[in-house]
């Protein structure tokens, strides 16, 4: 029930006609409300439908109330009982009826899928109720899932009600009240749109309601009168609905009234005939014509003996024997992974069950329980078991996977060990979809679930063209499923970066791969290749600045006309150490700038100035500084020296070379000299520092 509101027509505790005590609000709409009340005399529960005062004087709405009140004479268990229609002193018209406790089909259809068996029972029950109302000349005109209540949630106790006025503004329940039409567009028969309604109108509404509940969606008939008119001229689409339910829906909802049964009794007789053992589901279950059939006359007599309103589950079983249940939809679920392997679902026969169990055992290495699959009719396609077995077989390379199938709709999720396996499986799945004509929704992730840096390092080492490449981003040496993998370092050429990416991509799976390496050139990389391994900068560093202002340049980027200024920094305590500084140019030359022809000293204690415990040795100066000392070196960026150069500073315990190197020499010459002089002297090297100078236009 809903919470009371001050604006409600009636209040909790109010007594109507000295008899009906209001207990709560069941529903509200734009025209009125529905209340739960108790008869203070009989203590029976009632439902009271009340019109707002402004509608209580409207002839169209009063006509609907009077039409319901006329049903008071109908005594049938499948039809709600009406007691009286009255008016309060303040002008509110209200209608009293039995309170039917249970869910409406409109609510139940979104909570769970009703089986075909349940819907056929509901159909038989509603047809029995319509037979009784039609016998009194009453056409419901507004039959829909929200006007069919299952007492106690049981299909065999379906009851027709009419809460249309209380629900006329609810989403998906547009009850139109007027001189020419009363009903809901979604379930209304085509002739109702022209103002015509007879017994066959209710049959159409029942067929449309059964289809909506079977599909678990409100029919889409368009958003304007033109769309509605065009929609109603077409037969309802029962694709995917199994017989005999599909046959019943098509029969009841034929667009032309002449093609529908003339009465609810005639429709019920057709339904009884379909439920005999010779046809539809039972025929599939037994593989042919049955024996000991219930004859039509006997079936009708049986129903008569039960009473139209007492059509119980056991009686339905007599016409629809459950030798083999019908599955709607036809389902199968299979999975494999760390949480265990499962296989459940429907199969049409023992041979199909063996086929699926064998496919599952091949894909997982585990045989499923013998009772994992349930025999049922309703197979959407004769080749369905074979197609499903093929799909399960394709799962064998996956580390873990889950398949859920409903008729021909397939949802697949899985984890492949790597990207190539995932890509190959995607191709196989496209081929399978084309062969099976089933609808596949696939989400295959590329693993592995955990990726160790140790698996990447050997591959990365073979792609390193300018010194070692470093892997970052792993936690304790392991990348999680979606952790990004970052590669840093230097490479000799732009194509080397793509080579690294291609080598690692198949291994990283769903992880984002970021190559954040710096592309240098072959000359710089040739010198780096002979530098002592395992020796870092230590206490040595290189500062880059710009021109006279001496502003720091962290990026190392300089443009045309700018003047790079370079200091080598080291602790003042290093006095007897030897400092060698060189520039590997982008022209294929190496310039030895310390010591040089004008500055032959390379003993640290004889170089630079000391400030705050640090020694700063300037090796490249602003151009104006050359006026004070012509032995100093300065450079300026111009169009002839665009590209990357590298400043390298090597601090060693003893002199790096026995003789001063020439002012400039080839990269190959210096590389050979460094290789020879550093051989066996790794312990003599205190630190190696370097910075890139990137000259751009």
Please compute the mean of the pLDDT values over residues 422-428 and round it to a whole number: 94
If you search the block for the tokens 């609905």, which residue do you land on? 241
Contact 478, 450 (CB under 8 A): yes
Res 227: pLDDT:
78
Pick 42 or 206 by higher pLDDT. Answer: 206
Res 67: pLDDT:
65
Please compute the mean of the pLDDT values over residues 39-46 and round it to a whole number: 90
- Residue 192: pLDDT band (50, 70, 90) is confident
Please compute the mean of the pLDDT values over residues 418-434 and round it to a whole number: 94
User: How far is the first Cα of the chain from the last one, in angstroms, to the nearest whole number?
Assistant: 77
Q: Within 13 Å, how many C-alpha atoms sit on residue 678's CB side?
A: 23
Q: How far apart are CA 549 and CA 542, in angstroms?
A: 18
Res 54: pLDDT:
67
- Helices (H) and strands (E) in the chain — how many of each? 18, 32
Contact 146, 173 (CB under 8 A): yes
Q: DSSP string spanning 452-473?
A: EHHHHHHHHHHT-SSS--EEE-
Res 180: pLDDT:
43
Contacts of 675 (CB under 8 A, 6+ apart): 530
Res 77: pLDDT:
86
The helix/strand/coil state of 35 is strand
Res 452: pLDDT:
95
Strands 409-416 and 400-406: antiparallel
Pick 211 or 182 by higher pLDDT. Answer: 211
**Res 364 pLDDT > 70:** yes
Res 281: pLDDT:
37
Res 285: pLDDT:
35
**Res 103 pLDDT > 80:** yes
> Is the pTM for the entire model greater than 0.75?
no
**Res 260 pLDDT > 90:** yes
% of the chain surpassing 70 pLDDT: 87
> How many Cβ atoms are within 10 Å of 195's Cβ, its own excluded?
11
Among 80, 209, 187, 186, smallest CA distance to 133 is for: 80
Contact 92, 52 (CB under 8 A): yes
Least confident piece of the model among 56-60, 172-176, 264-268, 575-579: 172-176
The most distant pair of C-alpha atoms in the chain lies apart, rounded to whole Å, by 126
If you search the block for the tokens 């008869």, which residue do you land on? 39
Write the pLDDT tens digit of every residue in 325-348.
Answer: 888 899 999 999 887 889 999 999
How open is the CA angle 78-84-88, to the nearest 5 degrees?
140
Contact 69, 85 (CB under 8 A): yes
Mean of all residue pLDDT scores within the chain: 84
Residue 190 CA to chain centroid, in angstroms?
Answer: 39
329 preceded by cis ω (within 30°)? yes
Write the pLDDT tens digit of every residue in 597-636.
Answer: 777 889 999 999 999 999 999 999 998 888 888 888 888 8
Q: DSSP string spanning 579-631?
A: EEEEEE-TTSEEEEEES-SS----BGGGSSEEETTEEEEEEE--GGGGGT-TT
Write the pLDDT tens digit of every residue in 213-239.
Answer: 999 998 888 767 777 888 888 999 999
Among 394, 504, 373, 492, smallest CA distance to 438 is for: 394
Write the pLDDT tens digit of every residue in 640-673.
Answer: 878 888 999 999 999 988 877 888 889 888 889 8
E strand or H helix that includes residue 411:
strand 409-416
Write the pLDDT tens digit of every residue in 487-516.
Answer: 998 998 889 999 999 999 999 998 999 999
Res 75: pLDDT:
82
- Residue 585: pLDDT band (50, 70, 90) is confident
Pick 87 or 66 by higher pLDDT. Answer: 87
- Residue 319: pLDDT band (50, 70, 90) is very low
Res 68: pLDDT:
67
Write the pLDDT tens digit of every residue in 272-312.
Answer: 888 754 333 333 333 333 333 333 333 332 233 333 333 33
**Res 61 pLDDT > 80:** no
Tokens representing 91 are 């002008």
Contacts of 304 (CB under 8 A, 6+ apart): none
Write the pLDDT tens digit of every residue in 154-185.
Answer: 999 999 987 443 333 333 434 444 444 555 77
Res 453: pLDDT:
95
% of the chain surpassing 90 pLDDT: 46
- Residue 537: pLDDT band (50, 70, 90) is low
Res 549: pLDDT:
79
Contact 32, 54 (CB under 8 A): no
Please compute the mean of the pLDDT values over residues 108-123 and round it to a whole number: 91
Please compute the mean of the pLDDT values over residues 364-391 and round it to a whole number: 90
Res 328: pLDDT:
86
């Amino acid at each position: 029930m809903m919470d009371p509101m001050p604006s409600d027509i009636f209040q909790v505790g109010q007594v109507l006609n000295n008899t009906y005590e209001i207990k709560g609000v069941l529903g509200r709409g734009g025209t009125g409300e529905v209340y739960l009340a108790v008869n203070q005399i009989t203590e029976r529960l009632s439902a009271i439908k009340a019109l707002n005062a402004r509608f209580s004087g409207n002839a169209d709405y009063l006509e609907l109330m009077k039409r319901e009140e006329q049903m008071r004479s109908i005594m049938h268990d499948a039809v709600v009982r009406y007691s009286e229609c009255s008016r309060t002193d303040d002008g509110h018209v209200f209608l009293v009826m039995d309170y039917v406790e249970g869910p409406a089909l409109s609510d139940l259809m979104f909570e769970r899928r009703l089986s075909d068996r349940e819907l056929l029972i509901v159909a038989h029950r509603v047809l029995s109720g319509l037979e009784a109302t039609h016998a009194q000349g009453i056409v419901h005109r507004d039959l829909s899932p929200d006007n069919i209540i299952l007492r106690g949630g049981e299909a065999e106790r379906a009851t027709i009600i009419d809460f249309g006025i209380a629900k006329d503004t609810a989403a998906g329940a547009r009850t139109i009240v007027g001189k020419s039409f009363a009903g809901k567009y979604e379930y209304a028969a085509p002739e109702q749109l022209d103002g015509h309604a007879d017994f066959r109108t209710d049959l159409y509404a029942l067929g449309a309601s059964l289809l909506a509940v079977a599909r678990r969606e409100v029919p889409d008939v368009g958003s304007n009168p033109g769309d509605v008119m065009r929609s109603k001229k077409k037969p309802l689409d029962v694709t995917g609905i199994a017989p005999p339910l599909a046959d019943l829906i098509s029969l009841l909802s034929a667009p032309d009234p002449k093609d529908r049964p003339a009465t609810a009794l005639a429709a019920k007789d057709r339904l009884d005939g379909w439920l005999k053992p010779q046809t539809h589901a039972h025929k599939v279950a037994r593989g042919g014509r049955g024996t000991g059939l219930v004859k039509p006359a006997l079936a009708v007599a049986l129903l008569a003996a039960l009473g139209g309103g007492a059509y119980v589950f056991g009686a339905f079983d007599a016409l629809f024997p459950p030798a083999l249940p019908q599955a709607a939809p036809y389902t199968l679920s299979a999975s494999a992974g760390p949480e265990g392997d499962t296989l459940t679902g429907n199969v049409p026969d023992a041979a199909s069950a063996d086929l699926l169990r064998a496919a599952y055992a091949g894909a997982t290495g585990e045989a499923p329980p013998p009772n994992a699959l349930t025999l049922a009719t309703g197979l959407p396609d004769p080749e369905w078991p074979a197609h499903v077995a093929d799909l399960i077989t394709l799962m064998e390379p996956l580390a873990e996977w889950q398949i859920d199938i409903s008729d021909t709709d397939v949802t697949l999720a899985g984890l492949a060990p790597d990207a190539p396996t995932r890509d190959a499986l995607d191709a196989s799945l496209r081929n399978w979809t084309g062969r099976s004509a089933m609808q596949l929704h696939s989400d295959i992730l590329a693993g592995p679930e955990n990726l160790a840096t140790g698996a990447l390092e050997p591959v990365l080492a073979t792609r390193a063209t300018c010194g070692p490449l470093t892997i970052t981003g792993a936690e304790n040496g392991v990348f999680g499923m979606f952790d990004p993998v970052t590669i840093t370092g230097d490479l000799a050429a732009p194509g080397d970066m793509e080579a690294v990416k291609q080598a690692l991509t198949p291994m990283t799976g769903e992880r984002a791969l970021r190559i954040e390496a710096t592309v240098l050139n072959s000359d710089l990389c040739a010198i780096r290749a002979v530098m002592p391994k395992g020796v870092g900068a230590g206490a040595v560093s290189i500062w880059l600045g710009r021109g006279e202002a001496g502003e720091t340049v962290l990026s190392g980027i300089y443009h045309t006309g700018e003047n790079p200024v370079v200091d080598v920094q080291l602790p003042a305590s290093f006095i007897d150490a030897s400092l060698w500084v060189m520039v590997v140019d982008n022209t294929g030359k190496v310039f030895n700038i310390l010591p040089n022809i004008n500055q032959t000293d390379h003993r640290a204690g004889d170089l630079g100035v000391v400030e705050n415990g640090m020694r700063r040795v300037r090796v490249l100066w602003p151009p104006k500084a050359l006026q004070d000392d012509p032995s100093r070196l300065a450079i300026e960026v111009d169009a002839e020296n665009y590209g990357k150069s590298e400043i390298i500073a090597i601090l060693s315990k003893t002199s790096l070379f026995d003789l001063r190197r020439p002012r400039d020499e080839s990269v190959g010459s210096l590389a050979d000299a460094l290789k020879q002089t550093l051989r066996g002297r790794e312990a003599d090297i205190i630190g190696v520092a370097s910075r890139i100078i990137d000259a751009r236009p």
